[in-house]
Amino acid sequence: MFIMNIDELRRKAYQLRIDIIEMIYNANSGHPGGSLSAIDIMTVLYYKIMKHSPKEPNMPDRDRFILSKGHASPALYAVLADMGYFPKEELKNFRKANSMLQGHPSYLKTPGVEDSTGSLGQGLSFACGVAIAAKIDRRDYNVYCMIGDGESEEGQIWEAAMNGARHNLDNLCVILDYNHLQIDGNIYDIKRPQPFAEKWLSFGWDVMEIDGHDFNEIIEAFETFKSVKGKPSLIIAHTIKGKGVSFMENQADWHGKAPDKKQRDQAVEELKRYV
């Protein structure tokens, strides 16, 4: 665990946002919107909450983080590189042929990645399996799984939700990155997977709702999860797609588009103000 205070966490998250922008700009490909909405939560998890060790990535009792919305890989890679799971210079090879940093996370290629994700809906099923394994093996670790709101249109998410409650997986915490936008627009205009809280409660989960960019609320939610017994937890994190970059915020167009040089320069300049 890497304890940091709120101000340190906030500055770290903005530095990681710069890394995300640089990564996607260098690759001329990637998904900035959902990476920027998710990075505050990942920062709290890796620097404050989870048990893990960059020097021992396969430590048996490490907490596991599963990025089910695998297209937000730039956020995960930025964190893992900053923590020392692999050299930060590797970020320049994001999405390049034969790179250890593929467009979607690869368990076989990247130290610190727990599951190969990107086919939407599947990460939560894997997370349930890992949480069940911890129970069977009597291991003392928690499993954290981040899903997307657009991803929640996948039926497999709800099958896994039933499974998690059926097995009383109180070592499983799911974080819903609720930024309201997917590649085609507002989720309400696509399939309307809401209302989230009522649905997950009916499936037998403990449910919390927070501001996904308020570090105090994020930390408090994860601490509450640790006290819940007999059922899995869902944290509905209300976030802003493209958070931190003015022209990307709340814009579906930035779901999967790389900035040009002018846009990259503006984004980095804006983010540097908070580092």
What is the rounded distance in angstroms from the CA atom of residue 125 to the CA atom of residue 128?
Answer: 5
Greatest CA separation found in the chain? Answer: 53
Sorted by where each begins, the domain ranges of the chain are 6-272
What's domain 6-272's architecture?
3-Layer(aba) Sandwich (3.40)
pLDDT at 1: 58
What are the pLDDT digits (tens) for 146-196? 999 999 999 999 999 999 999 999 999 999 999 999 999 999 999 999 999
What are the pLDDT digits (tens) for 103-155? 999 999 999 999 999 999 999 999 999 999 999 999 999 999 999 999 999 99
Cα 125 to chain center, whole Å?
16
Closest of 67, 13, 33 to residue 176, by C-alpha: 67
What is the rounded distance in angstroms from the CA atom of residue 112 to the CA atom of residue 261?
Answer: 31
Confidence of residue 100 (pLDDT cuts 50, 70, 90): very high
- Per-position b or e across 191-213, b if 16+ CB within 10 A of its CB: eebeebeebbeebebbbbbbebb
What is the rounded distance in angstroms from the CA atom of residue 205 to the CA atom of residue 245?
Answer: 34
